[in-house]
Every structure is written in C-alpha cells, then in structure tokens.
Amino acid sequence: MSAAEVSSQDEYQLSLNEIYPREAIYGFQLAPDGRLLSFVHQGSKRVEEILVNGRRKIKESLHADLCLMPCEGGYPRRLTNSGDYCCPGVWSPDGVSLATEGPDGLQIIASNGGKPRTICKSKLHHPGGSWGGGSHDADFCYLKWSPDARFILFATRDPPKTTLDMVSTDGSLLRELFSVEGYISEWDWSPNGQKILLVTRNEDGWVGDVRLLSVETGDAQALWNEENYEYQKPMVAWSPNGEDIVLRSNRSGWSKLWFAKTANGRLEQLTLGEWDDYSFRFSPDGSRLVYSSRAEQNGTGDDLWLISIHRGEKSDRLTKQPGVNSPLAWSKDGWIYYWHSSPVEPGDLWRVSAKDKVTQRLTWSAKVGLEKKLSAPEEVRITNKDGTQIPSLIYKPAYSSEKKKYPSIVWIHGGPVYMRRYDYNPFCNWLANKGFVVVVPNYRGSFGNGISFMNAVAGEGLGKNDLSDVVAAARYARSLPYVDVARGIGVGGVSWGGYLTLMAVTQAPDEFSCGVAGSAITDWTIQQAQTEVRYYDHWLVGGWVYEQSERARERSPIHFVDRIKAKLITFHGEEDRDVPFIENKSFAEKAQRNGVDIEYITYPVERHSNMKPENQQDELDRTEAFFRKHLQPWDFRDNPSAGQLLVT
C-alpha cells in the first residue's frame, strides 16, 4: 500500500471513543399521560485504579443523569445533576414521580424537579448487568410501582441468594417477599396489586421457573418450567386487563411468545415460525402486542410486528427498517416508541403509528462524520461441508474499490451463546478500515438459529462443530474474488473467539497464517476449576472435567502447541475471573518452549475485557500492527510504516 493510499484512508479511521463509546442514552420510559419520556444520559465514563485491601482494582465511574423530553421529540431537560443516576427512572402510576437508584439507594424524584428523597438504602440487584442491553428487555427488571402507588418492588442479592423486596413509598415499611438460591431475573405486579409474576433462574444457569407470588402470604407457586434459559431469557408479563399473561419462552425450540388466559391456565403458542421473536409490549387496552421478530428477514435483523393477544388474527408487519428494532412503549394515542440501530446507526429513539405505520425519528446520537466511517456488512449463509448453514457477515473497508483485493480475517465472536447481528459493530468496521475483509461467522453455538443449533456446541460438539464452522468461513473467504490470499488468512477473537482461535491454529494448522487470541480458554481442567461461571462451562463440556477427562484434554489447545504453524499474539487481563489468567500464561510459556512465534501481552489489574482506555488503545494498536505485518502485501515504494515497526 502506497503512502498516498494510506493518507487518503485516514479520514475513514475510527477513534477509540468511536469504537468504545463513553457516552450513551438508554432506559427510555413513557409517562402515564404520554406527554414525556424519561431516559438516562451517560455523559462520560471514567476508569481508574483503586486500592482495596492492599490489592489494586479497577473502578468504573459512570457520570449519568436522568433526563426528560417531550414525547414528540425536542430539547431534553435534565432532572438530576449529580451524575450518579445510571439506573433508569420509572414513572409512578399518576405520573407525578419517578423511582430510581441514586447514590444513597432507592430514591423518588418529583417529575417537576426538586431534591430526591431516599426511601431505602439497599443496593439494588440489576439482573442482566447493563441497563442499556441490546434487546431492551432490561425494563422487565426495573423498579416496579404497585398499582396503588403505595409500594415499590426491587431485588437485592447476597450470593448465593437473590431476594425480592417491597418498600413503602414513604420509606416506613420494608418487607422481604421472596428469596431463592439462584437469581430473580424479572418481576411484574398484577394490575390489582395482589399477585406478582416473577422469573427465577437456578444456579446452574440453564433451568428456570416462572412463579406466581402472593403479596399477602408470600407463597410462591411454580407455574412453568423453563429450560435452555440462556438461549433467550424468559420474559413474562400481565396484560393491562389483569387476566391474560404473555410469556416469551424457548420451549418450542425457538424464542416465541405464548399466551395463557389465567395464571393457572394452559399455555398456547401465540407466535409461530422457525425464527426468533424477542421483546414485546402491550397496547394500552391489553388487546394487542407489538413485538420484534426476525420473520421475513433473510439475515440477522428484525422488525416490529403487531398481533392480537387472542389467537385468530395474522401478525402484521409494522416496520421495514434494516437493522435491529426493539419496542419500548405503546402510548394511548397509538404511538409505539422503539429503539432502532443498524450497522451505520449507533442507535436512536423512534416512534411509529400503530394505525398508519408512519415513522418518526426522535433522537440523533451519532456524531457528525461517523456515518462516513461505517459500511453495512453483506449478510451471507456459508455452507459447511456437512451441510450446516452458517449465517455470517462480511465487512469491507468503507473506501473499498472493486479494482483492489484485500487480505481477509475471520473474526470470531465471543459467547459462544451470542450472535453478531445486522447491528452497530464499530470494532469490525475499524478492523475492515485498516485494509481487511472481515468475515464474522455465527457458528454453531450462536443463538438466533434455534435451540438445536445452540446446543450443537456443547458436549461432543465442544471445540468441534464450532471450529468446523470457523474453518468453513476461512475457506469461503478464500473463494471471494476481492480477497487477497497471497499471505494466507488471519483469525482472531476474544473470550470464546480467543478459544476458537487457538483451537484453529492447533487443530487446523494449515488453514490460518496468523492469529490474535484475547482472554482465551487454553486448558479446560484449569478453566472449570477456577472460573466464576462454572455452570456455563459444565454445560459446554457436558459434565465436570473429571467425568469427561478425554474430551477435556482433546479440546484444550495447550496440549497441541507442537502443531502450531501460524504466528500468534495473545492478550489477557491478569485479574480475569471468567477465563483464569494462569491458563494463558501456561499456554504462552509452553508455546515458546516449543519454538512457536508468539507474542504474549498481559494487562495488570484488567479482568475479562480491558476497561482502561490506554489498555484498549494498546490492544487495538498491537492487533492492527500484527495483522498488517503478517497479512498485508509489502510495497517497495514505502518506507516501513510506523505500524509495521511496532511489531518486530
């Protein structure tokens, strides 16, 4: 690549803050009268090292506040100013107040402003982690007001138990309603205030229950058992009429919506088809649902659909926007508010009329000039030699030319129960804009393709079926007319992607010329013994490693370093608890003793993913330099670039 070409491509390069955004808006909630929307504006994110009991740890500080904006869009008004409110505000039934978690615990804030009032100092449990989750199911586990506005539901956790608590809005009464060994992932108060629907998850993570809790007695009745919990986490909600119940369940082999007339009634399948249906919201009168679905999608995106709560009416497609669309609220005047994101749009609030399907955009979060740096991937289905169809995305440089060829990298997502969707993915755009064709396969184990596809990664399929799909993606990349294979194909990934990278270079050593592995499993015996997600690894291996010792050894890259031909670089945080750091250290040292060309990079204090900006930038710089050195063609007109000189 000439110096002139490099210079012309600078304008397409994504910055660190564009790859790992520090700002965000999320947690949209519609006021009962439909006039205002509340949301959280995260204005900055600070990461620093602190000393705890003599050990250095990372502390992340989110500077976020609650804001209000008119429902038709407009300039927002800040409701808080301290920067300590990363938990969304939930409107009281009368629309006068919002409940949230502030710096001192559970607080109530008047919607017209004023000083927040703390009613409970408990630290709340946030199921699912991030409030801004991509599927926007998080509000099923927000604080919940009782219908008479006298009490608020919330959860706390003291491992191994999770507790559902109720506090009066004046703070005078705090009562424990229900406790379980495991997790409570969501809850919903019945319209009459007498019952609570809740979803619990066992410690093993793969089995859960939908329960019906009596507020008066505290008795909990198990209604429905939910297996394959991690495919799409179950969601359950009362309709506004207080009789009908809708459940999102994986029981049919796909994520589908089910319906029951009463809490003790028989479940009937509401949505059909061999695709997933995701988030849902009721119409104000409870007669209909809006839900996101992959129906009629050839790829991994989805759209909003309408369906009657009682069977007999065909679903009606509401939107046709390429990308991912998640319903948030349905107003009394017929507007449905939803979140839309795509490969070239980070994500914004929209609304659509349930009557005439007219759409209106309410927010613009992308910074000026960002769209130029992004290009939508091509969605393809790669056929493995055993006939398996692998949904995949192909990213090209935003400046790509039909007259040029580019080296290719197979980038493997983590999980493995995860899916790379037709959504905003700045990392893959960043990597592509460095001059590569990036192929991202949704290998077996990924969700979005049914339970059987996900389960194919566990047990005997561990490191076998998923690896086969990764190899198929590499062979597909070689067949593309715009891919330069002169220096081979690269492979990389983080977490499960890192594991499959090391499996690829040890089990298929002739397929890849170089690899980047971050936070990678290398030894299943150490992994199961020391990880904090042991239930997950028990499912993957198909038992404990001492029960499956032969499989655990066969699927551990550390035992096959003598097969490696590819150049390697590995990254790992020294405080990683998901994939214990000692695994990578042992692998790197053994590989070096066997003469493998491997760079071994560690980050003190960091855990499973780098959080400190300087470490994130370092990992990006090293990844770029590594792939440039080992994949891109040399040019005699160029003096070696600074990027090439970074790696020797």
Q: Encoding tokens for residue 369?
A: 């000039």
pLDDT of res. 125: 87
Could you tell me if 583 and 521 are in contact, meaning their C-beta atoms sit under 8 angstroms apart? yes
Q: Encoding tokens for residue 278?
A: 């995701």
Show Cβ contacts of residue 47 under 8 Å, excluding neighbours closer than 6 positions: 58, 59, 60, 61, 611, 612, 613
Q: How many residues does the chain have?
A: 648
The residue to which tokens 């030894």 are assigned: 523
Domains and CATH numbers, the chain: 122-231 (2.120.10.30), 239-374 (2.120.10.30), 380-645 (3.40.50.1820)
| Burial of residue 617, with CB atoms counted within 10 A of its CB: 0-12 exposed, 13-18 middle, 19 or more buried | middle
| Distance between start and end Cα atoms, the chain | 19
The residue to which tokens 């790696």 are assigned: 647
The residue to which tokens 């100092």 are assigned: 121
pLDDT of res. 265: 79
- The CA-atom distances, in angstroms, between 173 and each of 130, 143, 150, 164, 169 are 29, 16, 10, 14, 8
Could you tell me if 345 and 301 are in contact, meaning their C-beta atoms sit under 8 angstroms apart? no
Helices (H) and strands (E) in the chain, counts: 12, 36
- CA–CA distance, 163 with 259 (Å, rounded to integer): 27
Residue 589: enclosing H or E segment and its boundaries?
helix 581-593
User: In 438-577, which ranges are continuous DSSP H helix?
Assistant: 451-455, 465-479, 496-507, 524-530, 534-541, 549-554
Residue 405: how many other CB atoms lie within 10 Å:
16
CA atoms within 13 A on the CB side of 549: 2
Q: Which residues pair with 102 in a beta bridge?
A: 105
- The CA-atom distances, in angstroms, between 480 and each of 236, 376, 474, 505 are 45, 18, 10, 22
pLDDT of res. 455: 96
Q: Encoding tokens for residue 226?
A: 């939910």
- The CA-atom distances, in angstroms, between 290 and each of 308, 329, 440, 449 are 9, 9, 31, 22
Torsion angle of the four alpha carbons 524, 526, 529, 532, in this order, in degrees rounded to the nearest 10:
-90
- CA–CA distance, 309 with 239 (Å, rounded to integer): 9
Query: Which residue type sits at 121?
Result: K
Nearest to 62 by CA among 34, 82, 89: 82
| Burial of residue 53, with CB atoms counted within 10 A of its CB: 0-12 exposed, 13-18 middle, 19 or more buried | exposed
Instruction: Report the phi/psi class of residue 465: left, alpha or beta, with left for phi > 0 and alpha for psi in -120 to 50.
Output: alpha
HEC-encoded secondary structure of 148-214: CCCEEEEEEEECCEEEEEEEECCCCCEEEEEEEECEEEEEEECCCCCEEEEEEECCCCCEEEEEEEE
Residue 226: how many other CB atoms lie within 10 Å:
22
For 316-325, letters b (16+ CB in 10 Å) and e give eebbebbbbb
Nearest to 77 by CA among 38, 45, 44: 38
Residue 646: how many other CB atoms lie within 10 Å:
14
- Reduced to 3 states (helix: H, G, I; strand: E, B; else coil), residue 524 is helix
- CA–CA distance, 574 with 260 (Å, rounded to integer): 49
Query: Which residue type sits at 475?
Result: R
pLDDT of res. 260: 92
Could you tell me if 396 and 380 are in contact, meaning their C-beta atoms sit under 8 angstroms apart? no
- Report which DSSP code applies to 406: B
Could you tell me if 375 and 342 are in contact, meaning their C-beta atoms sit under 8 angstroms apart? no
Q: Encoding tokens for residue 282?
A: 């009721």
List per-block mean pLDDT (blocks of 10 residues) for the chain, which spans 648 residues. 60 93 90 95 83 80 91 92 89 96 93 93 75 50 92 93 96 96 92 94 86 94 91 92 91 95 84 94 94 91 93 86 94 96 94 96 89 94 96 96 95 95 95 97 96 96 98 98 97 98 98 97 95 90 96 97 97 94 94 96 94 96 97 72 50
- CA–CA distance, 481 with 185 (Å, rounded to integer): 48
Q: Give this prediction's pTM.
A: 0.93
- CA–CA distance, 573 with 618 (Å, rounded to integer): 13
Show Cβ contacts of residue 15 under 8 Å, excluding neighbours closer than 6 positions: none
- Reduced to 3 states (helix: H, G, I; strand: E, B; else coil), residue 285 is coil
Sign of CA dihedral 499, 505, 508, 514: positive
For 538-569, letters b (16+ CB in 10 Å) and e give bbbbeeebeebeebbeebbbbbbbebbebbbb
389-395 and 378-383: which strand pairing? Answer: antiparallel
Instruction: Report the phi/psi class of residue 111: left, alpha or beta, with left for phi > 0 and alpha for psi in -120 to 50.
Output: alpha
pLDDT of res. 215: 95
